[in-house]
Amino acid sequence: MANRLKRTLGLFDAFAIGVGAIIGSGIFVVTGIAAGLAGPALLISLVIGAFISGFTALSFAELAHSIPKEGGGYEYARELISPFAGFISGWLWILSNVVTGVVVSLGFASYLALFIPFPVSVNLVAALACLVVTFINYLGARDSSLVNDILVIIKLLILAFFVVFGLGFVKAGNFSPFMPTGEIGIMQGATLIFFAYSGFARVTLISEEVKEPKKNIPRAIILALVVSTVVYMLVSFTAIGLVGYKELASSGSPLADAAQSVSANLTYFVSIGALVATFSVLLTTLLGLSRISFAMSSESDLPRLFSRLDKRSTPYYTVLVFGFTMAILATFSNLLQAIALANFGSLLYYLLANYAALKLEKRVYPRIIPVLGIITCMVLLVFLTWDAWIRGCIVLLAGCVYYYFMKKWQKNRVNAAGG
C-alpha cells in the first residue's frame, strides 16, 4: 500500500500558506522596483498583475477541485498531458524553488543583520535560517502550518499598522505625475508584480493534507490572491504617498524608508515585518519542495526514498535533503543572478498547468480562462532576459537527460526481473 499523508489542515491553514507565499519579501522590495518602473501608476500595475495572475489562479483552483492530490502542477500535468510533461513541470518547480529559497534566506539574513550589534556573515545567517526552517518542517505539516499561521497573522498586523499610521502623513503631491513612464511602464510594473503574486499555487502542493480539498483548496487560492491584492494596494498607496515613487525606486528597503518619514518606531516595526515575511516564505518554500518531490517519488520520477514517511506522516527525506541543500548553497554564493532561473521555471510550470486545465472535460470555469492563462504566461516568457532563457534551457535539457536515463534504467530493471 502506498504511503499516504494525513489530512490535518483546514481552510485557514491552506489560506495562510498561500498568503505566506505571496506576501513575502516581494512586498518589502518588489514594490520599490515596480514603483520605479510605473511611478504612482503602480496602483494600476497591481490591479493588472492580479488580473493576469487570476487566470492562472482560477486554472489551479479548477484543477485542485478535479484532482485533489499532493504535487500540484506536477500531478495535473502528469495526469492530463503526459507523464513526461508532469516530470518537466515538477523538475522546473523544484530547481526554481531551491534557488528562490536561497535568495529569500539571504534576504532574511540581511534584515536580521541590522538588529545584531556586531558584524556577522550574511551567508552564515542565511544557512542557519535554512536549517531552522528544515527543523520546523521536519516536525510535520500540522506544526509547520501552525508556525506559518502565526507568522502570517503577525505580518498582516504589522502591514496594517504601517498603513493605519502612515495614511495620516500621505502627501497628494507624491502622486503627480501619476503616469511618468506611460502605459509601457505600467505593463513593466505589472510583469514584475506577477512574480510577486505567484505564490498562490503553493497551496495545491499540500492537497492531500487539507480537509475537504475539493472545496478548501480552490477557496484558499482565490482568497489568498484577493487578500494579497488588497494588502499590496493599501501598502503601495501609503508608501508612495509618504515619500514618492523615486525614493522608493532607489531604496533596497522601500517600506522601511517610507516608515522612516513617519517615525523611527514605525521603521522598527516594518523591519520586523520584513523578517517575519521572509521567514514565512522560506518556511512555505521548503514545505512545497518536500511535497512535490514526495509526489514525484511516489510515481517513480524521483528516488523512492523521497516518498518515505515517518510516524508524524512527514516526508522526512525530502525535507532534510532540500533543507540542507539550501543551507549549503546559501554559504557559498548569493545566487541573486540565478533568480532568473526561478522566473523561467515558474512561468513554464504555470503554462503547463493552464494547458492541463484546458484539457479538463468537466469544467467549473469557462474554457477561455486557461486559454488566457496560457497566453499571458507566453507573453511574460517573451519579456524575460536572454540570461533567464539560457539558464532555463540548460536546466530543462538536464531534466530531459535525467528523465531519459532514469526511464531506461527502470525499463532494464523490469526486463531483468521478468527474465
Condensed to tens digits (0 to 9), the pLDDT of residues 168-185 reads: 888 888 888 888 888 888
* CATH code of the domain covering residue 108: 1.20.1740.10
The tens digit of pLDDT for each residue in 70-105 reads 677 888 899 999 999 999 999 988 888 888 888 888
Structural domain boundaries enclosing 219: 11-410
In a domain, 419, yes or no: no
> In whole angstroms, how far apart are CA 50 and each of 94, 106, 297?
24, 27, 33
Q: How many domains does the chain have?
A: 1
Q: How confident is the model at residue 410 (pLDDT cuts 50, 70, 90)?
A: confident
**198: its cell numbers:** 505567484
The answer to whether residue 99 sits within a structural domain is: yes
Mean pLDDT, the chain, whole residue set: 82
Q: Is 369 among the domain residues?
A: yes
| Residue 6 within any structural domain of the chain | no
Q: For residue 4, is it within any domain?
A: no
Distance CA 189, CA 23 (A): 17
SS3 for 321-353 is HHHHHHHHHHHHCCCHHHHHHHHHHHHHHHHHH
Q: Which residue has the higher pLDDT, 201 or 349?
A: 349
Looking at the domain assignment, is residue 75 inside a domain?
A: yes
Distance CA 414, CA 419 (A): 9
Note the pLDDT of residue 228. 87
User: Using CA atoms, how far apart are residues 328 and 136, in angstroms rounded to an integer?
Assistant: 18
The reported pLDDT for the residue numbered 1 is 36
Residue 417 lies inside a defined structural domain of this protein: no
Q: Is the pLDDT of residue 149 over 90?
A: no
pLDDT over 70, % of the chain:
89
pTM for the predicted model, two decimal places: 0.80
In this structure, what C-alpha cell is assigned to residue 411? 525499463
Residue at 197 is within a domain = yes
Phi, psi of 77 (to 5 degrees): -65, -40
